[in-house]
Amino acid sequence: MEFDQIMVRYGEMALKGKNRHKFEQKLQSNLAHKLKKFPLAKVKKTRDRMYILLNGEDPYEVMQTCQEVFGIQSLSFALRTEQDEGKIREAALFAFHDAKQASTFKISAKRTDKTFPIKSQEMNQLLGAHILKNTSNVTVDVHQPDVEIVVEIRQDAVYVTSKKYPGAGGLPVGTTGKTLLLLSGGIDSPVAGYLAMKRGVEVEAIHFHSPPYTSERARQKVMDLAQEMTRFGIKMKVHIIPFTKIQQKIHQEMPEGYSMTIMRRMMLRISEAVAKEQDILSMTTGESLGQVASQTMESMSAINDVTNYPVIRPLVAMDKLDIISISQKIGTYDISIRPYEDCCTVFVPKAPKTRPKKEKAREYESAVDFSEDIKEAVEQRELIELKLQTELKSENEFEDLF
Ligand code: ATP
Ligand code: MG
């Protein structure tokens, strides 16, 4: 016996009223993209549910992949069997064994097909007795069971579902608009992008690099981070901005204490111009209050001064340790800690102002014309489009044959 499908539950989406259709469609297509590496698996939508038909793919590998897709609240394995008492018993026992640690259970039979001769309550007792007979140290608990086995008797077949596996939560990526993520090579900005994706936002990235002060390796690191993030976002465009000229100009012509603030203001101006061009309505950064000199309240205010765009800061109130633990969970941490030179660290002043004033920043900037440099940086950007990589599993299976 083997599970032949996975049942997908999407709680929060049900709250979205008229949008529900759009949300379901996005979830279905995101799932289909993620499951490309399992060519036999198919996503199927019925009026009120979604299923993955496994068609022989490994249930546990497919389950793990589905658990990375936003918009899913929980999942269960399911198996389809005939309307035959003996087969239903066998299926219920098999489904119970999926919950390895369970010591209490409950059977919830639902008889949609009223022509089936065994009533739901009778079915509960019958299947409960079968499981008790075939296990040890297990009891029934109808109030707070470790696992609930749902048995649905329909006209076409009987569906038996196993324990609930947690989904990634959130909303399907692509249902709540787009943001432009300022992606550095650090730990924070990939986590900020991940959290935006979790709320259904499609993320496009922008990175500032300053060759030859920053190396090819530093740039590759950012591309690797973006690639890793496609695990959740399916695809990601990355805009690489040549930033050397502007940084040199800041370094030479702006007071040292303000160079950090002014550099960030330039980044936001350029990002806004790119966002406008791409019809993106917000920007996202990995800033977190109080982490470094550039992340004081005064500093954020002085930097934010250059744009009317909403700047989303998902990490603003988070502790560094919590940010690190998310980055480990999503696979970006090991890339982020590779040693590298950041465009900011290369030109970083010895003593950046921790309480910069926006009036001062405006005054310093007004003495030098940056507008052409900003235009040039936007125009000379490089655009790279990344997609979720799907190595077909069959390659491994092929190896096993020899
Ligand atoms: P991170 O870990 O994301 O690098 P950080 O703690 O190092 O963040 P800062 O260096 O102050 O903080 O950067 C704050 C934010 O500014 C970053 O999270 C990122 O969104 C943006 N940023 C910094 N440097 C760059 C860059 N070279 N390209 C794009 N965005 C950048
Ligand atoms: Mg950084």
User: CA–CA separation, 47 vs 55, rounded Å?
Assistant: 21
Token look-up 């000379």 returns: 380
Query: Does the annotation list 209 as a binding residue?
Result: no
Residues sharing a CB contact under 8 Å with residue 134, sequence separation 6 or more, in sequence order: 93
Query: Does the annotation list 264 as a binding residue?
Result: yes
Residue 166 φ/ψ region, left for φ over 0, alpha for ψ in the -120 to 50 degree band, beta for the rest:
beta
Query: Does the annotation list 54 as a binding residue?
Result: no
User: CA–CA separation, 288 vs 294, rounded Å?
Assistant: 10
β-bridge mates for residue 72, sequence order: 169
3-state helix/strand/coil string of 185-223: CCCHHHHHHHHHHHECCEEEEEEEECCCCCCHHHHHHHH
User: CA–CA separation, 160 vs 188, rounded Å?
Assistant: 43
User: CA–CA separation, 6 vs 53, rounded Å?
Assistant: 7
Decide: 238 in ligand 1 pocket, CB within 6 A.
no
Cα angle, residue 209 at apex, residues 192 and 379 outer, rounded to 5°: 100
Decide: 343 in ligand 1 pocket, CB within 6 A.
yes
Beta carbons within 10 angstroms of residue 358's beta carbon: 17
3-state helix/strand/coil string of 5-72: EEEEECCHHHHHHHHHHHHHHHHHHHHHHHHHHCCCCEEEECCCCEEEECCCCCHHHHHHHHCCCCCE
Decide: 121 and 86 in contact? Cβ < 8 Å: no
Q: Give the closest ligand to the alpha carbon of residue 296.
A: 1
Residue whose CB lies within 8 A of the most ligand 1 atoms, among 182, 261, 353, for a mutation test: 182
Convert 279-290 to b/e letters by CB count within 10 Å (16 or more is b).
ebebbbbbbbee
pLDDT of 291? 65
Decide: 292 in ligand 1 pocket, CB within 6 A.
yes
With 0.85 as the threshold, say if the pTM is over it: yes
pLDDT of 397? 43
Q: Which atom of ligand 1 is nearest to the CA of 209?
A: 27
Query: Does the annotation list 70 as a binding residue?
Result: no
Residues sharing a CB contact under 8 Å with residue 331, sequence separation 6 or more, in sequence order: 228, 231
Token look-up 């949609």 returns: 112
Residue whose CB lies within 8 A of the most ligand 1 atoms, among 184, 250, 271, 306, for a mutation test: 184
Q: Give the closest ligand to the alpha carbon of residue 222.
A: 1
User: CA–CA separation, 366 vs 265, rounded Å?
Assistant: 13
Backbone phi, psi, residue 221, to 5°: -60, -40
User: CA–CA separation, 361 vs 259, rounded Å?
Assistant: 9
Decide: 184 in ligand 1 pocket, CB within 6 A.
yes
Residues sharing a CB contact under 8 Å with residue 228, sequence separation 6 or more, in sequence order: 190, 330, 331, 332, 335
Ligand 1 centroid, distance to 188 Cα (angstroms) = 7
Measure the N-to-C terminal CA separation of the chain; round to a whole number of Å.
27
172 is written with which tokens? 């399907």
Instruction: Give mean pLDDT in consecutive 10-residue pieces for the chain, a chain of 402 residues.
Output: 93 67 93 96 88 96 96 95 95 93 94 94 96 94 95 93 94 95 96 97 97 92 97 97 96 93 97 98 94 82 97 96 97 93 69 89 97 98 94 49 36
Residues sharing a CB contact under 8 Å with residue 376, sequence separation 6 or more, in sequence order: 245
